């Protein structure tokens, strides 16, 4: 495992993800927008991390991979503005009806992207420590 696999600019790991949970949906939308607003990256769902490094792949219970991909796609289309394109959702089986998900997000030329969920709005970006809120100066820098 190299330092390139650690959470920060390019990777984020979530061991749990319930698309019916507003908290989890908000986390996904903000993380994806933060990748698009900076250098692009990968969000891994169903992967457990310790100190930013993946240590286990318990997976998520996903009954229908196509349905899961569709729901993630709809979530990102509905909650990120301007609309994000070019992201990929891949679902990999890890056994016993469990899967992990790799959500690849390219750096966007249409940034800054705003994450909208339930009346809240933010422009998340990434740095070496992971995701944080963008201030106005940073937002101008990101869009240049």
Strands 41-45 and 11-14: parallel
Other beta carbons less than 10 A from residue 82's beta carbon: 12
DSSP 3-state of 66: helix
The pLDDT profile of the chain, 144 residues, written as one tens digit per residue, is: 444 567 788 999 999 999 999 999 999 999 999 999 999 999 999 999 999 899 999 999 999 999 999 999 999 999 999 999 999 999 999 998 899 999 999 999 999 999 998 888 899 998 877 887 876 444 444 444
| Residue 123 to residue 94: CA distance in whole angstroms | 34
Other beta carbons less than 10 A from residue 124's beta carbon: 23
**Would you call 29 exposed, middle or buried from its count of C-beta atoms within 10 A (0-12, 13-18, 19+)?**
buried
Stated pTM of the model: 0.87
For 32, phi and psi rounded to 5 degrees?
Answer: -65, -45
So what's the pLDDT on residue 2?
Answer: 46
């Amino acid at each position: 495992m190299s330092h390139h696999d650690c959470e920060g600019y390019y990777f984020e790991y979530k061991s749990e993800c319930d698309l019916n949970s507003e908290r989890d949906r908000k986390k996904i939308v903000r993380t994806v927008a933060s990748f698009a607003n900076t250098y692009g990256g990968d969000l891994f769902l169903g992967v457990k991390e310790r100190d930013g490094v993946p240590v286990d792949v318990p997976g998520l219970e996903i009954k229908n991979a196509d349905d899961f991909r569709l729901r993630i796609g709809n979530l990102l289309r509905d909650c990120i503005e301007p609309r994000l394109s070019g992201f990929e959702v891949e679902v990999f089986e890890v056994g016993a009806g469990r899967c992990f998900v790799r959500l690849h997000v390219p750096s966007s030329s249409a940034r800054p992207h705003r994450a909208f969920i339930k009346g809240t709005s933010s422009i998340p970006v990434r740095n070496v420590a992971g995701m944080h809120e963008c201030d106005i100066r940073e937002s101008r820098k990101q869009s240049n």
